[in-house]
């Protein structure tokens, strides 16, 4: 049980990082990304391969994972630049599935469905498992804070204003002289980089990754986190991630209460509840708990 709390904190941090990444892409720039688990997987695999096969130091693995994922994001953004929302939803969903296919099938690189194991973690084995969990949770949350502050600044900077303008009306932003494509690609790449970084951290925390760990359900978790917290605000993204963590873990205890059911049925109830919660949130509070405030210029004399 003592191990459980820091582990929960670490996972909440992974979700928070992903929600921040999605917030930049979808919340600010308005580009749907239903394939975010694909970027998460890319980051995880890149860092795992660099550190396990090539014995790179962990920090280098994390940095390259984030950069590589950002590059993939830029490519996806360029290719899909002309697509409108619903097409983009389909293409990004397909992207994540293709990443999972590659992870399952390129045995020489990814180990196929067996995955990659013995991924190093900071001080793993040198300290007690509890201390390891605690250290890692701290690393994850420091990263969350840095990214959150950075993105918060970015969101208030002219960069963020342009992204919101693009979200509201791409054509007006273009007429105002903003290079829309360049902004979209930058936003997508930055967001994808953070998604990749989250994946890299996850790989080193878990010590083991396999294609099964990158199901589309994770995308739903993160979309739920962002929607519940408040699309467009960084604080909302983080708050939403913590709530999703409580929800997924809470349903675990629910599973213990449903003693008469088979394991597969309990798993089905848990997954189903997550989906149902997202629908409920969309109903009850689509703007989220910490909604984005419209920024208006007050021209009234004081």
Partner 1 sequence: MITELAQLLINGILAGALLAVPAIGFTAIYAVLRFPNFAVASHATIGAYAGYIANVNFGLPAWMSLFAAFLVAGVFGVVSDEIVLRRLRASGPLTVAIASVALTIVLENVVRFSFGNDLLGYDLPVLRDWRASGLRIGPQQVYNALAAAAAMAALFLFLAFTRTGKMMRAVADNPMLAGLKGIDALTVARLANFAGMGLAGFGGMLIGLDTSIDPQTGFRVMLSIFAAAVVGGLGSIPGAVIGAFVVGIGEELSLIVLDPSYRTAIGFVAILVVLSFRPRGILGERAY
Question: Applying CB under 8 A, which residues contact partner 1?
Answer: 32, 34, 79, 82-83, 85-87, 89-91, 93-95, 97-98, 101, 104-105, 216-217, 220, 223-224, 227, 262, 264-265, 267-269, 271-272, 274-276, 278-279, 282-283, 286
Give me 151's structure tokens. 């993105």
Minimum Å distance from CB 68 to partner 1?
20
| CA atoms of 134 and 150, how far apart (whole Å) | 24
Minimum Å distance from CB 138 to partner 1?
33
Q: Judged by CB, which is closer to partner 1: 22, or 290?
A: 22
Q: What is the DSSP track for 16-63?
A: HHHHHHHIIIIIIT----TTHHHHHHHHHHHHHHHHHTS---HHHHHH
Q: Judged by CB, which is closer to partner 1: 112, or 122?
A: 112
Q: Judged by CB, which is closer to partner 1: 28, or 220?
A: 220
Q: Judged by CB, which is closer to partner 1: 262, or 302?
A: 262
**Of residues 98, 92, 101, 104, the one with CA closest to residue 36:** 92
Minimum Å distance from CB 180 to partner 1?
16
Q: Judged by CB, which is closer to partner 1: 111, or 120?
A: 111
Minimum Å distance from CB 263 to partner 1?
10
| CA atoms of 84 and 74, how far apart (whole Å) | 17
Three-state DSSP at 116 gives: strand
Minimum Å distance from CB 45 to partner 1?
17
Q: Judged by CB, which is closer to partner 1: 172, or 261?
A: 261
Does residue 36 contact residue 254 with C-beta atoms inside 8 Å? no
Give me 174's structure tokens. 């273009």
* Distances, alpha carbon 81 to alpha carbons 91, 113, 180, 188, 274, in Å: 11, 33, 10, 11, 31
Minimum Å distance from CB 184 to partner 1?
15
CB atoms closer than 10 angstroms to residue 59: 11
């Amino acid at each position: 049980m003592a191990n459980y709390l820091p582990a929960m904190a670490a996972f909440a941090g992974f979700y928070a990082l992903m929600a921040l990444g999605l917030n930049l892409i979808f919340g600010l720039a308005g580009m749907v990304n239903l394939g975010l688990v694909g970027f998460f997987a890319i980051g995880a695999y890149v860092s795992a391969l660099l550190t396990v096969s090539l014995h790179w130091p962990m920090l280098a693995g994390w940095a390259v994972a984030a950069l590589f994922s950002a590059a993939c994001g830029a490519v996806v953004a360029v290719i899909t630049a002309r697509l409108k929302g619903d097409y983009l939803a389909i293409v990004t969903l397909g992207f994540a599935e293709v990443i999972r296919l590659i992870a399952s099938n390129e045995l020489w690189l990814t180990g196929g469905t067996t995955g990659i194991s013995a991924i190093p973690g900071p001080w793993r084995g040198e300290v007690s498992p509890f201390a390891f969990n605690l250290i890692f949770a701290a690393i994850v949350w420091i990263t969350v804070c840095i990214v959150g502050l950075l993105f918060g600044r970015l969101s208030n900077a002219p960069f963020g204003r342009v992204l919101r303008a693009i979200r509201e009306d791409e054509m007006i932003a273009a007429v105002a002289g903003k290079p829309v494509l360049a902004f979209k690609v930058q936003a997508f790449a930055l967001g994808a980089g953070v998604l990749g970084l989250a994946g890299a951290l996850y790989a080193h925390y878990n010590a083991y990754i396999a294609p099964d760990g990158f199901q589309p359900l994770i995308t739903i978790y993160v979309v739920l986190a962002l929607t519940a917290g408040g699309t467009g605000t960084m604080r909302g993204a983080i708050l939403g991630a913590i709530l999703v963590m409580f929800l997924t873990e809470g349903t675990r205890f629910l599973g213990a209460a449903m003693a008469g059911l088979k394991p597969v049925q309990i798993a089905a109830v848990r997954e189903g509840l997550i989906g149902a919660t997202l629908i409920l949130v969309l109903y009850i509070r689509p703007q989220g708990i910490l909604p984005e405030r419209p920024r208006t210029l007050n021209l009234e004399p004081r």
